[in-house]
Chain A
């Protein structure tokens, strides 16, 4: 065998594999899962910045008792962070109150979430790999903290396709695009075919004006555009007659028809004016503090209803290095009612059974205080540093046990010690609920098979119904 022969053989092989891949991948039609699915779709409520598990979800009496005392636990040898040289134990702010049938202790800053706590499955043993926003956010969205990898929404579409061909299958509402790790790569498809990438709708902080780009040409009426597209179809048909039929050309022509239908359907899904006053109120729409995230949550429900496979809603500003006592209640207020509204509404409509809701940020926060003012700020104006060693996320619906708390951190809320769930485990579990085996959902790129969970990940069977 000579070199040229080998290359030719190899090149043929690659070519045909690539072609097969393209043909199979070039559509969003529904595909069979690996095993029966518990969830058909996912709504991910992303809290950018790292919400404090210590002040909201995990009551630690030890912290309250030792508030203001020197640290009683050892920091790792190489631990470095700004403004922590004189750090002391920083007790939880606000009161914890018993909520739900099993009397779960929850911060009183989340009164509405407290009302649906029996539907939620708390993961108190979450842990991630990075102390910094950008890699941690990347890991939460793509499984990998350093390189550019496909987003979990893109993997989901690749695995399952989508139920409504007139809407994008993966939508991210008001994504955080810059600062503290925000980037379009969080909803990108990386090496997966571009058809799986997320469609961004609206700008961060402006859910009121959220729309899909290029959905309308204001200078023509729908009837005129229809006429133009019919003419385009004629022009393309003539071209086919002279050039010979080809799937690619026919696909392009068909995609204009799909785009036209999308133009009709997408604005309807995003139009909240058809919702009743009671529903709008349930989400806190129309109230100053809750309007933005309320709209995001209601759009998420409408898209879930319309068959969108993966919807993300985002709220920024959870990075409380300082002024925790002033800022945390503001963020809680903004999302508490909308989230509870979403859970309630999904449940009322029978959608919660097969919709998995996931809530959380890229990491949690430290049980000791941080002072970035070089000692000028009083204790009451301090905050907490990032903490990927132990934090809380919660899920609801879609085949997870309702009304449970899984895992916990140590007595100070510093490190996950029981029921530990790594980000890779979280992703493995999400895919499992969707009917996908995270070890079998692979895509070949640069000579090896890639997975959302790379070479790790364990399905957290303890929380499955």
Chain B
């Protein structure tokens, strides 16, 4: 670290922010909400209005996703050339490339509107709530709940003192809100959003 802090000699893996699709997929997986189906049309044909009946060879520009599609892996989501669906803002905000132009390496920007999304977007809140619910459904102690949480979100055991820090935070909220807030915070923390 002292000899080569910028990792010019590649002595370690360089830190990378997860790409847009990976952030989304990772949130779905650790919350247990992902619909793991594969294949099929990107835009569901059975949602009223998605198929333009006058010209059935074209899809309507304002396509809608059904609840199941909304929870599929990002690779199965539609990419609309004209404008990406607002409900997939997470992709747009985290540098999913514009489908109209060639793109070399993707940018990995760090901008406040991303942080606003992570803090406030219903998508993130919903995943946090689902994760919290599954923890609370476990018939066990809070200590083993935070242990399970660390394994699921960070893929590792708790570090010394970490569990106490998390539980101290949980105790400052009402019980119903507390676990969702803890899960939410971990889902938007650097350790979750970066690799390496």
Question: What is the CA–CA distance of A248 and B5 in the complex, to the nearest angstrom?
Answer: 13
Residues B112 and A259 in contact, CB atoms below 8 Å apart? yes
Chain B CB within 8 A of A194 CB? yes
Query: Contacting chain A: which of B24-32, B37-45, B99-107?
Result: B99-107
Chain A CB within 8 A of B191 CB? yes
Cβ contacts B96-137/A at 8 Å (1 or 0 each): 001011101101011111111111110001000000000000
Query: Contacting chain A: which of B50-58, B67-75, B141-149, B179-187?
Result: B179-187
Chain B CB within 8 A of A262 CB? yes
Q: Give the residues in chain B near A232, CB-CB below 8 Å.
A: 185, 188-189
Residues A194 and B95 in contact, CB atoms below 8 Å apart? yes
Contact for B112 among A185, A227, A255, CB less than 8 A? A255
Question: What is the CA–CA distance of A18 and B106 in the complex, to the nearest angstrom?
Answer: 11
A262 and B116 in contact (CB under 8 A), knowing A26-B110, A249-B190?
yes
Q: Give the residues in chain A near B82, CB-CB below 8 Å.
A: 178, 183
Residues A194 and B111 in contact, CB atoms below 8 Å apart? yes
Chain B CB within 8 A of A244 CB? yes
Contact for B83 among A183, A194, A234, A248, CB less than 8 A? A183
Chain B CB within 8 A of A73 CB? no
Q: Give the residues in chain B near A213, CB-CB below 8 Å.
A: 89, 113, 116-117
Q: Give the residues in chain A near B112, CB-CB below 8 Å.
A: 255, 258-259, 262
Q: How far is the CB of B87 from chain A (nearest CB, A)?
A: 11
Residues B116 and A228 in contact, CB atoms below 8 Å apart? no
Residues B165 and A248 in contact, CB atoms below 8 Å apart? no
Question: What is the CA–CA distance of A22 and B119 in the complex, to the nearest angstrom?
Answer: 25
Chain A CB within 8 A of B66 CB? no
Residues A190 and B101 in contact, CB atoms below 8 Å apart? yes
Q: Give the residues in chain A near B152, CB-CB below 8 Å.
A: none
Query: Contacting chain B: which of A99-107, A216-224, A433-441?
Result: A216-224
Contact for A249 among B15, B121, B188, CB less than 8 A? B15
Residues B83 and A178 in contact, CB atoms below 8 Å apart? yes
Chain A CB within 8 A of B3 CB? no
Q: Give the residues in chain B near A253, CB-CB below 8 Å.
A: 190
Q: Which residue of A lies closest to B81 (CB)?
A: A183
Q: How far is the CB of B57 from chain A (nearest CB, A)?
A: 20
Cβ contacts A242-274/B at 8 Å (1 or 0 each): 111010110111011011101100000000000
Residues A258 and B115 in contact, CB atoms below 8 Å apart? yes
Chain A CB within 8 A of B157 CB? no
Q: How far is the CB of B152 from chain A (nearest CB, A)?
A: 15
Chain A CB within 8 A of B159 CB? yes
Cβ contacts A153-168/B at 8 Å (1 or 0 each): 0000000000000001
Interface size class for chain B? 35 or more
Chain B CB within 8 A of A65 CB? no
Q: Which residue of B lies closest to A191 (CB)?
A: B101
Question: What is the CA–CA distance of A168 and B111 in the complex, to the nearest angstrom?
Answer: 10
Chain B CB within 8 A of A347 CB? no
Tell me the interface secondary structure of chain A in the complex. helix
Q: How far is the CB of A290 from chain B (nearest CB, A)?
A: 29
Chain B CB within 8 A of A53 CB? no
Cβ contacts B13-31/A at 8 Å (1 or 0 each): 0010100000000000000
- Name the residue among B110, B172, B177 with the largest chain A CB count within 10 angstroms: B110
Q: Give the residues in chain B near A193, CB-CB below 8 Å.
A: 107, 109
Question: What is the CA–CA distance of A179 and B196 in the complex, to the nearest angstrom?
Answer: 45
A168 and B113 in contact (CB under 8 A), knowing A190-B98, A235-B186?
yes
Q: Which residue of A lies closest to B62 (CB)?
A: A178
Question: What is the CA–CA distance of A178 and B15 in the complex, to the nearest angstrom?
Answer: 39
Q: How far is the CB of A174 from chain B (nearest CB, A)?
A: 15
A259 and B109 in contact (CB under 8 A), knowing A148-B98, A190-B98, A252-B190?
no
Q: Give the residues in chain B near A215, CB-CB below 8 Å.
A: 116, 120
Contact for A256 among B109, B115, B125, CB less than 8 A? B115
Chain B CB within 8 A of A392 CB? no
Question: What is the CA–CA distance of A168 and B184 in the complex, to the nearest angstrom?
Answer: 25
Q: How far is the CB of A161 from chain B (nearest CB, A)?
A: 14
Chain B CB within 8 A of A419 CB? no
Chain B CB within 8 A of A236 CB? yes
Question: What is the CA–CA distance of A291 and B83 in the complex, to the nearest angstrom?
Answer: 28
Question: What is the CA–CA distance of A258 and B112 in the complex, to the nearest angstrom?
Answer: 6
Chain B CB within 8 A of A184 CB? yes
Contact for A177 among B83, B190, B194, CB less than 8 A? B83
Residues B185 and A235 in contact, CB atoms below 8 Å apart? yes
Question: What is the CA–CA distance of A190 and B113 in the complex, to the nearest angstrom?
Answer: 17
A148 and B101 in contact (CB under 8 A), knowing A26-B110, A262-B112?
yes
Residues A227 and B172 in contact, CB atoms below 8 Å apart? yes
Q: Give the residues in chain A near B109, CB-CB below 8 Å.
A: 26, 193-195
Question: What is the CA–CA distance of A173 and B186 in the complex, to the nearest angstrom?
Answer: 34
Chain B interface (Cβ < 8 Å from any Cβ of A)? 1, 15, 17, 61-62, 82-83, 89, 95, 98, 100-102, 104-105, 107, 109-121, 125, 159, 162, 165, 169, 172-173, 177, 181, 184-186, 188-191, 193-194
Chosen A-B contacts, 8 in total, with CB atoms closer than 8 Å, are A194-B111, A215-B116, A224-B181, A239-B191, A240-B190, A255-B110, A258-B112, A262-B112
Chain A interface (Cβ < 8 Å from any Cβ of B)? 18, 22, 26, 147-148, 168, 177-178, 183-185, 188, 190-191, 193-195, 199, 212-217, 219-220, 224-225, 227-229, 231-232, 234-236, 238-240, 242-244, 246, 248-249, 251-253, 255-256, 258-260, 262-263, 446
| Contacts beyond the supplied A183-B82, A217-B125, A446-B104: 7 A-B pairs with Cβ under 8 Å | A194-B107, A213-B113, A217-B120, A225-B119, A239-B189, A239-B191, A263-B116
